[in-house]
Structure 1
Amino acid sequence: MTGLEDLNEDILFLVLQYLEAERSIFLRRLRLVSWRLKDFAESQMFKRITVGDEEDLIDSTNRFIERLLDPNDKLSRHVRDFTVASFEGNDASSCLNSSLFVKLMDGFQGLDSFSWNVDTPIPRDILDAFQIRWPHTHLCVRTARFDKVLFSFPQLYQLDISVPCKERHSVNTLSLFRKLKEILVQSSSLRVLSLNIHRDPYIHRLGLAEVDRGSLNLPLDPGDQLPPLEELTIEARDYDMNTEYCGRWFECMDWKKLCRLKFKSWCPHEFFMFFTNKIPNVESLQFGYFRGRSRGISIFAGEAQGLNVAGTFIISVNSLRELIIQAQGTNFYESPWDVIAQKHGDSMRRLTIACHDSDLLMESTMDMKGLEMLSSYFPFLQNLDLVLSLTRDYKSGGYAWPAGTITALGQLNFLKSLKISARLQMEGDRPLMVCILPYSRGLVIELWNAFFEHDPTSELITVIVRFWRWEDSGPLPFEEHSTVRMRTNEVVYVGSKPNGELKVTIHGDLGNLK
């Protein structure tokens, strides 16, 4: 039998590329087998490297730098995406500085992207070194600081910015949107744009004039031409997206290039209505809505109509592969899921129904109905993320999945990854781990077994279950009145089958699984 050591380099590369995407733990183990496999495994493990001077990154950053600067180490050959996650500046940083970044730029041998996710201005010598050494590599920026030099850089491919303003939710306020637009219309390389808004109490220091006053949006004029975006994210609910503005934006950009459209947790009613049949090539869509009025929550215009607001737009695109919805749940028996499935049933590969990331919804219910329709609606789903509320099993005194859940999910024959955010109710002062520990592994195993009992050849690779609940965190020490404050407490279980045998482990941090 041929072993990994006997495979030629092309086949070995494909095998390890698969392992990196599906079971990265194997790569760490392969590094110990031989020098040849170590080199191939690291070519996948270290394609993406992140450095920073924050406490949780300092140790890994120092190790990476030591290896990257070692002429006998091959690590610099493998790095394709290099990210700076934090940098306090040359004088304040304990492990990073401009001259070090310049050396790293010169040492990389196949860089595809350089990400500057920092509010500190990027030193000019770093930009110069990047442009000279990597003139065709993408620059990606995430920041809340307006930096005209950085935003005007000719290699800027991705910009994620929070735009400062004087007042939120205002139709006439000072902001930096006009200055940002003036830069964007000059950009030829930008393809990914993410816009958020934040209130800046010191905006008067930015030297804005009366011409910078207006609505909270890019003030587009006839003749303006934005770059042809491939991905657009508008996170701020108060971005002014009225019908007239949508018409101006439509004239100022080539929308046929757009593939990914994200509105995070809100539903822009007028945008969806105007752009129906106008953005045919969207493959990934994200938005959110409230299914009903929850106590203390004001429903934004259009959101109370739920999924129907976006339904007509969804069926107007050619072939949707990914749909991410933030809501308190959904009912797959209700319209427009049937027409969405009729249009995109064969193309859909990822579906997410996630709860709103807001303590305003802590008392709202999360209903997920009609899960048995999923296997017929979207038979080729590969990734499914759901939010469910566990029910009490009074016979055992423990918890159970909602009726019909196990059977419904187990029929998704092509599913590779399943993520469940499972909510529990408060039970007096008992800690979350005490409440869930006797039942958690059994619940994960029950989910896993449902797939292989239905189809022994199931392609399922990973099951992740986030058990969580709202808990009283107590008042802040400086508060005059003891206002009750709530926080989420959680424990995450991961089920996988790396050696043909189900293994369930507890993970403390797997990112945002809400």
Structure 2
Amino acid sequence: MDNQSALSTLGPDVLNIIVNLLHAESPRSLRQFALVSKSYKAISERLLYRVIELGDGSTLHPNRLTNTKHIVDRLSTPKDQMSMYVRHLRITGLNTTGETLDETDVERIIVNVAQLEYFSWNASIQIPERIISKLESQWPNVRLVINKTKLNPNDSRLLQSPLLYSLRYPMLASTSPVPGSMDFALQMRLPDLKEVLLGATNLRSLAIDFESSFPNCVHLSLQPSDRLPPLRALRISGRPGAYMYYHEHCRIFSQCMDWTRLRRLDLGITCSQYFLEEIGSHLTNLKSLTMGIVTGKNGELDCRSLGVIVNFIQSLDLHELRLTDHINATETMASAIVESQTSLQELSYLPYLKRDHFSFPLHNQPTHMWEPSQLRELTLRNPGLSQLEIHVTLVEQKWPHDFIDTLVTLNRLKSLKIAVELRMEASEFSGECGPSVGMGTDLPPLDETLGRKVTIDTFRAFFINDPNARLNYLEVCFTRTIGEIWNPSVSFPIGIQRMERDDAPNPDQGGFNLGSSGGWLLGGGQGLKADWIEDEFWE
């Protein structure tokens, strides 16, 4: 019997289902599957090369550089089958020497691909006129994605393209904002975001990202007569106060756009009373929400009462919810989420300090956590929940009562991240408890051996409880707190990835890879993820 064995007897429909599942659950296994035969290679490449990213190769590993050259050669060759599979082409850079990817290569690829739907320009350099003109003439209906970390005046041509579909607009602080200086001139010559929006009739995804040191409080200077494109995704991220939600501005903003079309809303770590009052009731089709939980007297920066936030979230039927809790409202918010949500697939609920990795005093009261009973009810009411991020405090280096027993019953989870706080009183260590403590100079080191053991035991517990548990990834980020001081310099994350090999042992028998993740990006992030423009929330 040949190496295709029983698979060769399957019909094309069944084989397509298998390949789609492999691609969703284990892309590495799909690459191995493609090596079985020429027919399996063809059906696998249809998914493997659906999204292709090409760059100048200056920062690529030699193996990836070789692979990039191979892909460029194939896509530059007329009638190569790969050109039939590409739906999304991302360009991260060009090489003027022609060693990997130059203007001519990109032009040739634009002509050769057969079913292009998205074109992303992520390169730091200005897009050559030849490329954007060829794209507009060859693919008049393609969706142009701009995801750059910095825009400059030379990007005007890109921003004014009728193909513009997704835009990340970074608001950078000028290093010398003095009239007459070069930085000031560059900042003033940037295309005004409002002008870009009014002209971008096909724009559906917008991210306004404020640099942490951005000095000004700004907002879109909208007029009641302005008409913005009907966005599907909107992100306004940055420190509180970078974008000012003035009451009159929110009132006009609510009239300038069809908010019923919005599927994703990311307000970063902020929450505005005026925004929720004027716009919240129009978000009838929202499926993904990221925001902060803040209460106070300033309606531009926070909400006057927690009830306003509770009522807003309870009015939505969400698939994704990411909350940053500034006010230690876990008890109330957990109950509100459990009572109102039945379609959640992803949930992130973390205290403000754990999310942003700053050194500030903790709240005087203990940080509340999700009760085991709330976690059980959450998963019963949301059977599709597959990703979870929560915060836990260890007491005497032990999990809270019933926490692990409840957690391992969440056998549908695929990704789990836990921010663990290891509390100790200031009297429990011999270092001086002065200002230097806040800088981490006198704090006792975290016991990494203990951290690894806790992480491994937690991961294995899922599969001891249920050998068919779906958990693929677990990350535990440990942080030591001394009294009321929380310090990121003594934090470290540990990640476990389930082995994808077909012959790998079950995870409870060692079938996993353990290592430090080197950092933990919790929610938001920089740049638009692919699923912001290619998922079921859009249409």
Q: TM-score, normalised by structure 1?
A: 0.78
Deviation at 1:360, TM superposition (A): 1.9
2:407 is matched with: 409
In 1, Cα distance between equivalents of 2:131 and 2:284: 39
In 2, Cα distance between equivalents of 1:405 and 1:299: 37
Give per-residue Cα distances to partners, 1:144-169, cap 9 Å, x unaligned: 2142211111111100111346699x
Q: Name the stretch that deviates more: 334-343 or 276-285.
A: 334-343
Give per-residue Cα distances to partners, 1:9-57, cap 9 Å, x unaligned: 2321222111111122321321232222222223223322223346543
2:119 is matched with: 114
In 2, Cα distance between equivalents of 1:303 and 1:94: 55
Deviation at 1:355, TM superposition (A): 5.1
Q: Which amino acid aligns with 2:110?
A: M
Q: Name the stretch that deviates more: 411-420 or 156-165.
A: 411-420
In 1, Cα distance between equivalents of 2:328 and 2:445: 31
In 1, Cα distance between equivalents of 2:22 and 2:422: 34
Alpha-carbon distance change, 149 to 376 in structure 1, aligned in 2, over 3 angstroms: same
2:252 to 226, 248, 251: 248
1:227 is matched with: 229
Asked if the contact 2:346/2:385 (under 8 Å) is kept, the reply is yes
Asked if the contact 2:393/2:422 (under 8 Å) is kept, the reply is yes
2:82 is matched with: 75
Asked if the contact 1:379/1:413 (under 8 Å) is kept, the reply is no
Structure 2 counterparts to residues 164-179 of structure 1, below 5 A: 164=172, 179=192
Q: Name the stretch that deviates more: 437-446 or 256-265.
A: 437-446
Q: Name the stretch that deviates more: 89-98 or 373-382.
A: 89-98
Matched, 1:10 2:7: no
Deviation at 1:485, TM superposition (A): 8.9
In 1, Cα distance between equivalents of 2:323 and 2:394: 23
2:371 is matched with: 370
Deviation at 1:227, TM superposition (A): 0.3
Asked if the contact 1:329/1:387 (under 8 Å) is kept, the reply is no
Alpha-carbon distance change, 439 to 315 in structure 1, aligned in 2, over 3 angstroms: closer
In 1, Cα distance between equivalents of 2:304 and 2:501: 44
Deviation at 1:104, TM superposition (A): 2.1
2:209 is matched with: 196
Deviation at 1:308, TM superposition (A): 4.4
Asked if the contact 1:195/1:233 (under 8 Å) is kept, the reply is yes
2:530 is matched with: none
Deviation at 1:445, TM superposition (A): 0.8
Q: Which amino acid aligns with 2:41?
A: K
1:449 is matched with: 464
Structure 2 counterparts to residues 95-174 of structure 1, below 5 A: 95-143=100-148, 144-146=150-152, 147-164=155-172
1:420 is matched with: 418
2:529 is matched with: none
Deviation at 1:342, TM superposition (A): 3.2
In 2, Cα distance between equivalents of 1:470 and 1:120: 43
Asked if the contact 1:466/1:513 (under 8 Å) is kept, the reply is no
Instruction: Tell me how many residue pairs correspond in the alignment.
Output: 466
Asked if the contact 1:120/1:145 (under 8 Å) is kept, the reply is no
1:23 to 17, 23, 26: 26
Deviation at 1:244, TM superposition (A): 0.8
Deviation at 1:465, TM superposition (A): 1.8
Q: Name the stretch that deviates more: 95-104 or 363-372.
A: 363-372
Q: Name the stretch that deviates more: 356-365 or 255-264.
A: 356-365
In 2, Cα distance between equivalents of 1:343 and 1:371: 18
Matched, 1:351 2:347: yes
In 2, Cα distance between equivalents of 1:513 and 1:58: 24
Task: Give unpaired runs (5+ residues) of structure 1.
Answer: 204-213, 293-297, 394-398, 472-483
In 2, Cα distance between equivalents of 1:97 and 1:432: 50
Q: Which amino acid aligns with 1:218?
A: L
SS in 1 for 2:192: helix
SS in 2 for 1:380: coil
Task: Give unpaired runs (5+ residues) of structure 2.
Answer: 177-183, 424-439, 482-486, 523-539
Deviation at 1:107, TM superposition (A): 2.8
In 2, Cα distance between equivalents of 1:430 and 1:179: 49
Structure 2 counterparts to residues 249-398 of structure 1, below 5 A: 249-289=253-293, 301-302=301-302, 308-317=307-316, 319-327=317-325, 334-344=331-341, 346-354=342-350, 356=352, 357-361=355-359, 364=362, 367-377=368-378, 378-389=381-392, 391=394
Q: Which amino acid aligns with 2:125?
A: T
2:91 to 58, 63, 84: 84
In 1, Cα distance between equivalents of 2:519 and 2:112: 31
Q: Name the stretch that deviates more: 59-68 or 142-151.
A: 59-68
What is the RMSD of the two structures over their aligned residues, measured on CA atoms?
3.9
Asked if the contact 1:20/1:44 (under 8 Å) is kept, the reply is yes
Alpha-carbon distance change, 116 to 159 in structure 1, aligned in 2, over 3 angstroms: same
Give per-residue Cα distances to partners, 1:109-165, cap 9 Å, x unaligned: 322211112332111111122223322221100122142211111111100111346
Alpha-carbon distance change, 501 to 328 in structure 1, aligned in 2, over 3 angstroms: farther
SS in 2 for 1:193: strand
In 2, Cα distance between equivalents of 1:405 and 1:329: 23
Higher percent of residues as strand = 1
In 2, Cα distance between equivalents of 1:54 and 1:273: 49
2:179 is matched with: none
In 1, Cα distance between equivalents of 2:295 and 2:256: 34
Give per-residue Cα distances to partners, 1:227-268, cap 9 Å, x unaligned: 000110001331111221011111111111011101122223
2:472 is matched with: 462
Deviation at 1:200, TM superposition (A): 9.7
In 1, Cα distance between equivalents of 2:273 and 2:420: 30
Q: Which amino acid aligns with 1:420?
A: I
